[in-house]
C-alpha cells in the first residue's frame, strides 16, 4: 500500500506544491501518474518512476525521477510535463475559463494502483468577484477584489485563438487589480475572425475601465502574441496607458487571421480605414515542405516565412513606432520562438526605446508560449499543437518554457506593482 500527501486539496495555480508519497518500505520503486482535462475536454497525462528513500518517502520537491516525462527534482514537474493522451505531438492545453482544474494523482506498480488523490488548481480565490459588464458593446469578463476600493485596472488581450482569458483575469484580480479579459473576436456578438477590428473598440474598453466604480483611473495593458502586437499599437495610437506588458509580440503591424492562420486581410481599422500591414511571403518551397511534413507527421513552423517577409524593402513601413510610446514597456520573448522571431523584434524595440522603466526579458532556450496570460508553470507547457493533423512547432522545450513561465509571472507582477503609483492619463 501507499499514501499520497498533498497538504490540502486546493491550491492557487501559482502556489508551491508539496506532494509526498509514503511507500510501504524503503527503496520501493513506484510510478506516479497525473491526469488532467483541459477546457475542450482533452485529457493530458504525465508519469515518472521513483524509488522511495530510507524513510519510505518520495518528496516530489527533492526526488529525481529514474525516468519519465521529466528528469529533475521539481514539485511541479508532473504538471508542466503533461502531454495529450491521444499523442500526435499535441500538448496545447486550452485553459480560458475561471473554473478550477482537477488533477488526478495515481501511485502505481506494474500490477496495481496503490493510492489515488485529487489536486485542485484554482484561478479565482474567495476574495475575488466577477462583475457584470454593463456596457453591451464591451465583450469579455471583468473581475476585481470583492472588497470595496479603487484599484489599478488591467486589460488582458489574447492572441489568435480569440475569445478571452478569463482564467488569467480572475487570477490577476486576486493580486489587487480590476481586470478586464477583453474579447475582440471569436465571441458572442463579435466577428468570427481577427479581421478589420476597430481600434476605437479598445479605446472604449479602456475608458470603461478607467471610469469604473472600482477603478483608480489607471489602465495597464497585457497582451500576448497577436495581442502583444495589439497592446503596442494601442500604446502608440492612444498613448495613455500606465504600463504595457507585451509577450511574444511583433513590433510590426501584421495581417489579420482566419482559423488561427495569417490571412491576406487587414487585422485592424482606425478612423474607418484599414491599417497597412506586413504581407506574408509564402514561397512554393514552403508549401511543398508543409505538405511533406503533414504526410510524414513532422512539425512545421513559420519562422522562415517571417524572415522572408521581413527581408522585403518595404517591411519597415509597417513598423510600430514604439519609441513614441510614453508608457514603460515590458517585453517578453523566447530565443527559440518558432512562430515568429519575437526575440529579434524585442531587440529592435530595445534600440528604439529610451524609457528607463522598460524591462526586456529574453529566455534564450524558450519558445513562443512562455508567459502569462497563456502560460503558468503549473499547467502543461506548450511546445506543439496538432491542428487537424498538421503539427505546429512553437519552439522551446517543455522544461525551458515552464521555467520561463515561472520567472515571467514574478517579473510581470513586480512590473505592474512598480508602475501603479502615479497618475493615469485616462480621466474618470
Active site residues: 225, 337, 368
Alpha carbon distance 288, 189 (integer Å): 38
Pairing type for strands 329-334 and 151-157 reads unpaired
Cβ count near 358 (within 10 Å)? 19
- C-alpha grid cell, residue 333: 520573448
What is the edge-to-edge ordering of all strands in the sheet holding 243-247?
128-131, 140-145, 178-182, 151-157, 215-224, 243-247, 329-334, 359-363
Q: What is the CA radius of gyration of the chain?
A: 22
Q: Are 33 and 68 in contact (CB under 8 A)?
A: no
Q: Are 335 and 362 in contact (CB under 8 A)?
A: yes
Whose CA is closest to 31, among 55, 8, 2? 2
Q: Are 118 and 104 in contact (CB under 8 A)?
A: yes
**Adjacent-strand bridge partners of 390:** 387
**Adjacent-strand bridge partners of 155:** 180, 221
Percentages helix, strand, coil for the chain (3-state, rounded to 5) are 25, 30, 45
Amino acid at each position: 500500500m501507499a499514501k499520497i500527501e498533498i497538504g490540502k486539496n486546493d491550491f492557487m495555480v501559482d502556489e508551491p506544491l508539496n506532494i509526498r508519497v509514503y511507500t510501504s518500505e524503503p527503496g520501493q520503486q513506484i510510478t506516479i501518474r497525473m491526469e488532467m482535462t483541459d477546457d475542450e475536454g482533452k485529457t493530458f497525462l504525465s508519469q515518472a518512476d521513483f524509488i522511495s528513500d530510507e524513510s519510505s518517502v518520495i518528496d516530489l520537491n527533492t526526488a529525481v525521477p529514474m525516468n519519465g516525462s521529466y528528469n529533475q527534482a521539481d514539485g511541479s514537474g508532473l504538471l508542466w510535463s503533461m502531454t495529450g493522451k491521444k499523442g500526435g505531438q499535441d500538448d496545447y492545453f486550452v485553459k480560458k475559463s475561471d473554473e478550477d482544474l482537477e488533477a488526478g494523482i495515481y501511485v502505481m506498480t506494474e500490477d496495481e494502483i496503490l493510492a489515488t488523490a485529487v489536486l485542485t488548481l484554482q484561478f479565482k480565490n474567495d476574495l475575488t468577484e466577477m462583475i457584470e459588464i454593463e456596457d453591451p458593446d464591451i465583450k469579455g469578463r471583468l473581475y476585481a477584489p470583492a472588497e470595496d476600493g479603487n484599484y489599478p485596472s488591467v486589460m488582458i488581450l489574447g492572441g489568435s485563438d480569440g475569445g478571452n482569458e478569463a482564467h488569467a483575469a480572475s487570477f490577476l484580480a486576486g493580486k489587487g487589480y480590476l481586470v478586464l479579459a477583453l474579447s475582440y473576436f471569436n465571441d458572442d456578438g463579435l466577428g468570427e475572425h481577427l479581421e478589420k477590428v476597430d481600434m476605437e473598440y479598445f479605446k472604449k474598453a479602456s475608458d470603461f475601465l478607467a471610469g469604473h466604480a472600482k477603478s483608480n483611473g489607471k489602465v495597464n495593458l497585457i497582451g500576448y502574441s497577436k495581442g502583444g502586437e495589439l497592446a503596442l499599437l494601442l500604446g502608440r495610437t492612444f498613448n495613455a496607458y500606465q504600463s504595457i506588458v507585451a509577450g511574444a509580440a511583433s513590433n510590426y503591424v501584421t495581417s489579420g487571421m482566419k482559423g488561427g492562420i495569417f490571412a491576406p486581410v487587414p487585422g485592424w481599422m482606425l478612423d474607418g480605414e484599414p491599417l497597412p500591414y506586413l504581407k506574408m511571403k509564402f514561397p512554393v518551397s514552403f508549401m511543398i515542405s508543409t505538405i511533406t511534413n503533414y504526410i510524414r507527421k513532422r512539425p512545421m513552423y513559420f519562422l522562415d516565412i517571417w524572415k522572408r517577409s521581413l527581408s522585403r524593402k518595404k517591411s519597415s513601413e509597417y513598423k510600430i513606432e514604439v519609441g513614441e510610446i510614453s508608457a514603460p514597456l515590458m517585453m517578453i520573448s523566447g530565443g527559440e520562438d518558432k512562430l515568429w522571431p519575437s526575440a529579434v523584434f524585442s531587440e529592435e524595440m530595445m534600440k528604439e526605446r529610451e524609457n528607463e522603466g522598460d524591462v526586456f526579458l529574453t529566455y534564450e532556450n524558450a519558445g513562443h508560449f512562455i508567459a502569462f496570460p497563456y502560460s503558468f508553470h503549473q499547467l502543461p507547457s506548450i511546445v506543439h499543437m496538432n491542428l487537424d493533423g498538421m503539427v505546429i512547432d512553437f519552439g522551446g522545450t517543455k522544461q525551458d518554457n515552464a521555467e520561463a513561465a515561472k520567472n515571467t509571472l514574478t517579473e510581470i507582477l513586480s512590473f505592474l506593482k512598480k508602475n501603479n503609483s502615479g497618475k493615469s492619463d485616462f480621466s474618470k
